[in-house]
């Protein structure tokens, strides 16, 4: 259970994230969000007289018969989206070599996207997951609701440290009845990925934010150190001064990254890499521009 001091520190972090996210959305992000993510279809609006160039399939023959001249149905875009932030809060999410942990970075990215969604009239929900789905908050509107989601991302604690993207994907496919926008925020250190992500992407519009720390890509030259797997607790003594070991580690992590990227590309899931040592906004900007061009 959190102490009073920890709760106060956590709430200060949430308020700081709110101010930063609101500023970023207001200054430069909201328009790109709206251009990239559209509603789920068209809603009927009204009738009007047929004009040259109108599509014949929109002619309403009942009204046409009553008015003795062609009338067409007008539609407007159904703007409202249900946005679900699927956030990995497993043991590896608490790692960060400098200022932010991957969990804190995920919370910041979630806040930016969440406030963009609210400003555009969309609903936002949360799935916090680790080895199993831990917490699901259905999509809703409102600042207080979003701040609760950010707080949950920062504080929810899994009973075990492992990760299962498969369990998260299966839960979302079962639970979300209508097509939604799913933002998967994870380091994707999980097997299997291919079939679960493919199944999710077929049912819901899906984008992926890959959170990472620079030290995960290459080992520093720091002599003999004890390395601990945050998800299994396994400890091992490693001589990081060994150049062959560092090179083998770098190749291994490189192949892992390539495998994740290949899986996402295979299922047409747009993605961005977010580093704990960098501002997430440029990567999010780039992602939304790519996604908007594709749509």
Give the number of residues written for the chain. 295
> Does one domain contain both 33 and 46?
no
Q: Which residue, chain included where needed, has tokens 């999710």?
A: 200
Instruction: Say yes or no: 72 and 205 in one domain.
Output: no
Residue 88 belongs to a domain with what CATH number?
3.40.50.410
Does 116 lie in the same domain as 50?
A: no
* pLDDT of amino acid 266: 95
pLDDT at 39: 52
> Do 90 and 191 belong to one domain?
yes
pLDDT at 238: 84
Q: Which residues, other chains included, contact 265 with Cβ-Cβ below 8 Å and sequence gap of 6+?
A: none
Do residue 137 and residue 204 come from a single domain?
Answer: yes
Domain count along the chain: 2
Angstrom distance (rounded) from CA 21 to CA 207: 19
User: Which residue, 23, 52, 78, sits at the end of a domain?
Assistant: 78
- Does the model's pTM come out above 0.75? yes
> What does the pLDDT read at residue 120?
81
Q: Name 270's bridge partners.
A: 207
pLDDT score of 261: 94
Distance CA(3)–CA(293), nearest Å, equals: 47
Q: Which two tokens stand for residue 19?
A: 């101010």
Are residues 47 and 67 located together in one domain of the fold? yes
Judge if 109 and 56 occupy the same domain.
no
pLDDT score of 233 = 76
Same domain, 55 and 143: no
- Tell me: do 55 and 170 sit in the same domain: no
| Whether residue 244 sits in one domain with residue 272 | yes
Task: Give the CA distances from residue 73 to residues 39, 45, 47, 66, 68, in Å, rounded to whole numbers and listed in that order.
Answer: 19, 7, 5, 14, 16
| Together in a domain, 68 and 197 | no
- Structure confidence at residue 87 (pLDDT): 97
Neighbours of 233 (CB within 10 A): 10
Query: Residue-wise pLDDT tens for the chain (295 aa)?
Result: 445 676 677 677 777 777 777 776 666 565 666 666 655 554 556 677 877 767 777 788 888 888 888 888 765 455 578 999 999 999 999 888 887 899 999 998 998 898 888 888 889 999 999 999 999 999 999 989 998 999 899 889 998 878 999 999 999 999 999 899 999 999 998 888 999 999 999 999 999 999 999 988 888 888 888 887 777 778 888 888 888 888 988 898 889 999 999 999 999 999 999 999 998 888 888 888 887 766 5
Specify whether 48 is located in the same domain as 137: no
Domain that holds residue 131: 4-37+83-294
């Amino acid at each position: 259970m959190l102490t009073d001091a920890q709760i106060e520190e956590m709430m200060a972090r949430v308020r700081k994230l709110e101010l930063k996210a609101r500023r970023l959305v207001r200054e430069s992000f909201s328009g790109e969000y709206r251009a990239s993510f559209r509603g789920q279809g068209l809603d009927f609006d009204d009738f009007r007289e047929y004009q040259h160039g109108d599509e014949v399939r929109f002619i309403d023959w009942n009204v046409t018969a009553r008015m003795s001249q062609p009338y067409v149905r007008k539609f407007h875009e159904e703007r409202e989206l249900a946005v679900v932030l699927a956030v990995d809060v497993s043991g590896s999410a608490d790692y960060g070599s400098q200022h932010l942990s991957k969990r804190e970075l995920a919370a910041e990215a979630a806040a930016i996207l969440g406030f963009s969604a609210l400003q555009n009239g969309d609903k936002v929900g949360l799935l916090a997951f680790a080895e199993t789905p831990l917490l699901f908050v259905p999509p809703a509107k409102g600042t207080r609701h979003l701040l609760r989601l950010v707080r949950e991302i920062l504080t929810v604690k899994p009973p075990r440290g492992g990760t299962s993207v498969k369990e998260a994907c299966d839960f979302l496919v079962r639970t979300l009845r209508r097509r939604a926008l799913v933002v998967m925020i994870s380091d994707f250190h999980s097997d299997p990925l291919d079939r679960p992500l493919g199944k999710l992407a077929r049912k819901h519009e899906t984008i992926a934010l890959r959170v990472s720390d620079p030290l995960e890509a290459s080992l520093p030259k720091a002599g003999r150190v004890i390395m601990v797997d945050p998800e299994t607790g396994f400890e091992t003594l490693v001589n990081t001064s060994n150049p062959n070991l560092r090179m083998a580690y770098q190749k291994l992590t490189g192949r892992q990254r390539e495998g994740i990227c290949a899986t996402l590309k295979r299922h047409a899931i747009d993605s961005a890499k977010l580093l704990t040592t960098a501002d997430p906004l440029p990567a999010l900007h780039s992602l939304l521009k790519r996604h908007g061009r594709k749509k």
